[in-house]
Amino acid sequence: MVGRAEPDELRGAGSDSPLIHRSPLSTSGEPLSTSDESADVSGKPLAASSKPLGTPDKSANASSKPLAASSKPLGTCDKSTGASGKPLGRPGKPPGASGKPLGSITRGTTGINRLRRSDRWLIHDELVRGRVREAADPLVVDLGYGASPVTTLELAARLRRVRPDVRVVGLEIDPERVVPGRDGVRFARGGFELAGLRPVLVRAFNVLRQYPEEAVTSAWATVLDGLAPGGLLLEGTCDELGRRCAWVLLDRSGPLSLTLAWDPFTVDRPSDVAERLPKALIHRNVPGEPIHTLLTAADRAWAHAAPLAPYGPRARWRRTAEILRDNGFPVRPYRRRMRDCVLSIPWDIVAPVKP
Ligand SMILES: C[S@@+](CC[C@H](N)C(=O)[O-])C[C@H]1O[C@@H](n2cnc3c(N)ncnc32)[C@H](O)[C@@H]1O
């Protein structure tokens, strides 16, 4: 299918923008990343230290049971400080059990406008908007921003439309990727423990992708434990150019929903997004697992909606979502005009059946 650029993509060089492995935004003119870009994304842990990431918390699960407050250490790194060298955390509360950021340094690949689809969704989602607007302290953390802070700056700019006084902090576990603050955004060293911050919203995109599946529940639990009351976590994955995206929205009780969003003009069928499912689901797209049932049904509905193809992929997707709802899948309806094809569904519908 021939690609057609969207306004955002044209404006921000989104879909065809080069990937950033080494940042063009370094204020010092030096590359920000010294990560091993040859590291793989096969699901093997990429801990720079080769230390294990820790034991997943078996008391928590990926099927909507409460996840918070278990926060076992996931790994070890160095001290947690801001770009200024000052610790960011709450007084008297060390970042992890060892006082070190929790997690492991992984590849820092990112790109200009790569996360535009999840940003668009975030700033329109009623739950997210409400929580950010009502927060006593409108603090948002972008966890694991990578070799360049560009997606953090973009997130901040978009969130200011929801709440002009939002404070955004980019946390990165690799100290060499921590850059001086700019455009009202701070950057600091931190891991899943959030450097002791208490944000109302955490966005972690393409972070868990390079961890083993077993690390997911523990990482979720640690982040959820650090949220402010009513706080939310958006944990997701996308392809290099941000055309195929998937994310889970969680609160302290556990996962709430799964959302898939894709470029209407470069994705042939809904199941094409399967390759970018969040870590909790990517290995579950097999017969017998709910996510496989959903994607199979979505492809079937997409085929049934083929007569609408002449009206464009968005019209065809709207019909597809109706067919899915008619078949018992509680796909969320959207009244506003959508630039992306979006499939959002309660987590219970897709939660893995096997431990
Ligand atoms: C692939 S980059 C993603 C960059 C950006 N979020 C994006 O999606 O374009 C993943 C980054 O997450 C960082 N990271 C991995 N584990 C982390 C953790 N526990 N806490 C903070 N950062 C982490 C890695 O060092 C890496 O820079």
Output phi, psi for 110, to 5 deg: -150, -170
* CA 93 to ligand 1 centroid distance, Å: 23
33 lies in some domain: yes
Residue with more model confidence, 43 or 326: 326
Our mutation pick for probing the ligand 1 site, out of 114, 148, 173, counting the most ligand atoms within 8 A of Cβ, is 173
Q: What is the pLDDT of residues 120-136, one digit of tens each?
A: 999 999 999 999 999 99
301 lies in some domain: no
| 226 has pLDDT over 80 | yes
pLDDT at 326: 98
Q: What is the pLDDT of residues 86-133, one digit of tens each?
A: 334 443 344 555 679 999 999 999 999 999 999 999 999 999 999 999
pLDDT at 49: 32
91 lies in some domain: yes
| Average pLDDT value for the chain | 80
pLDDT at 227: 98
Say if ligand 1 is within 6 A of residue 105 CB: yes
Q: What is the pLDDT of residues 171-205, one digit of tens each?
A: 999 999 999 999 999 999 999 999 999 999 999 99
Mean pLDDT of 307-336: 97
Q: Whose CA is nearest to atom 5 of ligand 1?
A: 145
319 lies in some domain: no
Q: What is the pLDDT of residues 42-101, one digit of tens each?
A: 223 323 333 333 222 333 333 333 343 333 333 222 333 333 333 344 433 445 556 799
291 lies in some domain: no
| 40 has pLDDT over 90 | no
Q: How confident is the model at residue 355 (pLDDT cuts 50, 70, 90)?
A: low
Contact present, 172 and 206 (Cβ < 8 Å): no
* CA 130 to ligand 1 centroid distance, Å: 27
- Token digits for 68? 């918070």
Q: Whose CA is nearest to atom 13 of ligand 1?
A: 144
- At a CB cut-off of 8 Å and minimum separation 6, what does 20 contact? 109, 110, 111, 112, 146, 147, 148, 150
Give how many domains the chain has, as a whole number. Answer: 1
Q: What is the pLDDT of residues 147-167, one digit of tens each?
A: 999 999 999 999 999 999 999
Our mutation pick for probing the ligand 1 site, out of 19, 207, 224, 235, counting the most ligand atoms within 8 A of Cβ, is 207
Give the Cα separation of 3 and 264 in Å (integer): 9
Contact present, 70 and 215 (Cβ < 8 Å): no
For the chain, the residue count is 355
* CA 354 to ligand 1 centroid distance, Å: 28
* CA 310 to ligand 1 centroid distance, Å: 40
DSSP 282: H
Our mutation pick for probing the ligand 1 site, out of 106, 154, 185, 205, counting the most ligand atoms within 8 A of Cβ, is 106
- The helix/strand count (H/E) of the chain reads as 9, 10
pLDDT at 99: 75
Range of the domain at 226: 7-268
pLDDT at 96: 53
Contact present, 308 and 315 (Cβ < 8 Å): yes
**Nearest-5° Cα angle at 95, 35 to 168:** 70
339 lies in some domain: no
168 lies in some domain: yes
Mean pLDDT of 18-38: 36
Contact present, 320 and 344 (Cβ < 8 Å): no
Mean pLDDT of 317-341: 96
289 lies in some domain: no
